[in-house]
Amino acid sequence: MRDIEWENALYDHQHMMIKRLDAHRKKNKTESLSNDERMAVEHSFQLLVASMLDLAKYVLKNHYNVDVETRDQVLDELIKHKDVTYEQGQQIASLIKIRDQILNDYLEQNFTGLDDALKIKRYALVEVLTKEWTARLEA
């Protein structure tokens, strides 16, 4: 059963995370980030990717009646149901990989992968997919 309030709140949340990431991306790169700033950017990125995967699980359940147990299975199901193009699938895989690196390698403090994703603004795909997927639910 659809929850329009949740969908709208999720979209607003994603939009806020994207604005934070955009603000970081536009900052003067000669200034190094403090640990707090780096953590804020990493956390915003993690939340954005997690929200995309949660919305995908929601769409799979409400549009295809497919229950996906974990976020790890989401991309495979999206591809199976042709809800993403090949290019989008590759971009989602890249976002997931960066998110996993942040989650699992947090002691490494390796900001390079995330910084590269921010430079080319890969994360903007999340907002596009949110609009596409919620439109699909309305059909």
Q: What is the pLDDT of residue 67?
A: 92
Residue 121 carries which side chain, given as an amino acid letter?
K
Asked whether residue 6 carries a pLDDT value surpassing 80, the answer given is yes
Residue 28: half-sphere exposure toward Cβ, Cα within 13 Å: 2
Q: What is the pLDDT of residue 83?
A: 87
pLDDT digits (tens, 9 = 90+) for 95-133: 998 888 888 876 666 667 777 777 778 888 898 898 888
CA–chain centroid gap for 85, Å, is 16
List the domain boundaries for the chain: 4-138
Q: Cα(4)–Cα(50) distance, rounded to whole angstroms? A: 19
pLDDT digits (tens, 9 = 90+) for 26-59: 887 777 778 888 888 888 999 999 999 999 999 9
The pair of three-digit structure tokens given for residue 105, joined into one six-digit string: 């390698």
Residue whose C-alpha is closest to residue 36's, from 22, 52, 24: 24
Average pLDDT over residues 17-24: 90
Asked whether residue 79 carries a pLDDT value surpassing 70, the answer given is yes
Sign of the CA dihedral running 97, 100, 105, 111 = positive
CATH fold of 4-138 reads Four Helix Bundle (Hemerythrin (Met), subunit A) (1.20.120)
pTM, two decimal places: 0.85
Label residue 8 by pLDDT band (50, 70, 90): very high
CB 13 within 8 A of CB 47: yes
Q: What is the pLDDT of residue 116?
A: 76
